[in-house]
């Protein structure tokens, strides 16, 4: 909810019976709280420190969002609080033990952990791909699937204090799009991912398996471009509502030159007609002056972390590029 009058701007975030109020004038905020007090009995908890399980800490660099308490409770629920931490959330080599394909004895416990891990990605996008993978097996988990969850929880146990810093910088919107073509060995479907930054802060990201099988890496990458474009348009509209309209086109970075060529090519060839809807969508927003495509080398593509399992060094390098830090850093 947004209230704006003259130079006064008030923002109210409501979720069921939890309210978060901020704005440009503290006196007006106090008047609003007094009005609410006349009609409701709100409990005022002062400056925000925890909202819906998301902790808000103040550091020398600014505001820091994390879920250390929630993550610790999750690790404890799996009885892994004394486990040895690992350096990345998903193993490059899946389990090959003789009983790895047998059904896990407690599917309910698996589903509880998987759902909770998905909520943890709010401030830990570095585990988004691993959480995405374990959530795909909630209907019928195996012993190998549970071992994957334990591996992820061991990573979380070593990164409890990690989260997203909100730093002061020029509010330039930019986005990165990537895809892992036919990355799922079971059905050969591709994984779409993108991450969007406002200034130096990552504000949006997504990991999702594509609905249909892509016939080429170009098609998989182009579908990812379309998803990233949708996210950019929504964020640009949101910023406009906050009177922070982006002054320039939003750069969208992609490491596939063929997908970029299709976006700029007004001639549609027969073999690419099956992605014509995505083509028209991306092309429309390029022509409208809302996005501009830029090539980025695969080694510098931060969204790569959201599409596949990586080596420890590569993972930690991209985690840094995504802006994920320890609160003590």
Determine the pLDDT at residue 245: 86
Q: What is the mean pLDDT of residues 286-315?
A: 93
Tell me how far apart the alpha carbons of residues 38 and 41 are, in angstroms, rounded to a whole number: 8
Determine the pLDDT at residue 99: 62
Both 92 and 202 in one domain: the answer is no
| Consecutive H or E run containing 264 | helix 257-264
Both 221 and 158 in one domain: the answer is no
Q: Is 278's pLDDT higher than 80?
A: no
Both 24 and 73 in one domain: the answer is no
Both 184 and 266 in one domain: the answer is yes
User: Read out DSSP for 208-247?
Assistant: EE-SS--SSHHHHHHHHHHHHHHHHHHHHHHHHHTT---S
In a domain, 61, yes or no: no
The token duo for 200 is 């130096």
The token duo for 251 is 């750069």
136-213-283 Cα angle (round to 5): 110
From residue 102, how far is each of 79, 105, 115, 133 by CA, in Å?
22, 9, 22, 18
Q: Is 96's pLDDT higher than 80?
A: no
Domain count along the chain = 3
The residues facing 9 across adjacent strands are 4
Domain end: 129, 162, 195, which one?
162
Both 129 and 178 in one domain: the answer is no
In a domain, 289, yes or no: yes
Least confident of 15-29, 60-74, 127-141, 255-269: 255-269
Both 39 and 104 in one domain: the answer is no
Both 183 and 291 in one domain: the answer is yes
Both 179 and 155 in one domain: the answer is no
Q: What is the mean pLDDT of residues 105-115?
A: 94
| pLDDT (tens digit per residue) in 167-196 | 888 889 999 999 999 988 888 999 999 999
Determine the pLDDT at residue 178: 95
From residue 327, how far is each of 66, 306, 324 by CA, in Å?
8, 22, 10
Q: Is the separation of the CB atoms in 175 and 194 below 8 Å?
A: yes
The token duo for 122 is 């709010």
| pLDDT (tens digit per residue) in 191-244 | 999 999 999 999 999 999 998 898 889 889 999 999 999 999 999 999 988 888
In a domain, 140, yes or no: yes
Closest CA relative to residue 296, chosen from 305, 304, 286: 304
| pLDDT (tens digit per residue) in 26-64 | 888 888 888 888 887 778 778 888 999 999 998 887 899
Both 200 and 241 in one domain: the answer is yes
The token duo for 1 is 């909810």
Domain that holds residue 77: 66-162
Domain end: 137, 162, 187, which one?
162
Both 35 and 90 in one domain: the answer is no
Determine the pLDDT at residue 266: 60
Q: What is the DSSP letter of 135?
A: H
Q: What are phi and psi of 317, to 5 degrees?
A: -65, -45
pLDDT interval class at 1 (50, 70, 90): confident
Determine the pLDDT at residue 273: 57
């Amino acid at each position: 909810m947004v209230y704006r009058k003259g130079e006064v701007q008030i923002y109210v975030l409501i979720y069921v019976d939890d309210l978060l109020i901020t704005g440009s004038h503290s006196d007006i905020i106090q008047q609003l709280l007094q009005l609410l007090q006349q009609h409701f009995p709100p409990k005022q908890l002062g400056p925000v420190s925890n909202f819906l399980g998301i902790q808000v800490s103040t550091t020398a660099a600014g505001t820091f969002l994390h879920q250390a308490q929630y993550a610790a409770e999750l690790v404890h629920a799996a009885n892994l609080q004394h486990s040895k931490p690992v350096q990345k959330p998903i193993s490059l080599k899946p389990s090959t033990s003789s009983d790895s394909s047998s059904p896990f004895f407690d599917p309910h416990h698996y589903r509880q952990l998987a759902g909770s891990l998905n909520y943890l990605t709010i401030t830990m996008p570095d585990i988004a791909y691993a959480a995405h993978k374990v959530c795909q097996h909630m209907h019928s988990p195996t012993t190998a699937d549970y071992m994957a969850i334990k591996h992820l929880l061991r990573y979380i146990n070593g990164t409890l204090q990690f989260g997203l810093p909100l730093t002061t910088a020029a509010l330039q919107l930019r986005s990165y799009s990537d895809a892992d073509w036919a990355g799922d060995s079971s059905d050969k479907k591709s994984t779409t991912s993108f991450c969007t930054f406002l200034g130096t802060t990552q504000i949006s990201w997504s990991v999702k398996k594509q609905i249909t099988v892509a016939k080429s890496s170009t098609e998989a990458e182009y579908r990812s471009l379309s998803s990233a474009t949708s996210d950019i348009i929504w964020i640009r509209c949101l910023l406009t509502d906050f009177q922070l309209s982006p002054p320039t086109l939003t750069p969208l970075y992609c490491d596939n030159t063929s997908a970029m060529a299709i976006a700029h090519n007004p001639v549609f060839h027969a073999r690419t007609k099956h992605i014509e809807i995505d083509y028209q969508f991306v092309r429309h927003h390029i022509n409208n002056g809302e996005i501009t495509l830029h090539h980025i080398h695969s080694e510098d593509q931060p969204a790569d972390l959201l599409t596949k399992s990586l080596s420890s060094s590569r993972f930690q390098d991209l985690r840094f590029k995504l802006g994920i830090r320890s609160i003590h850093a």
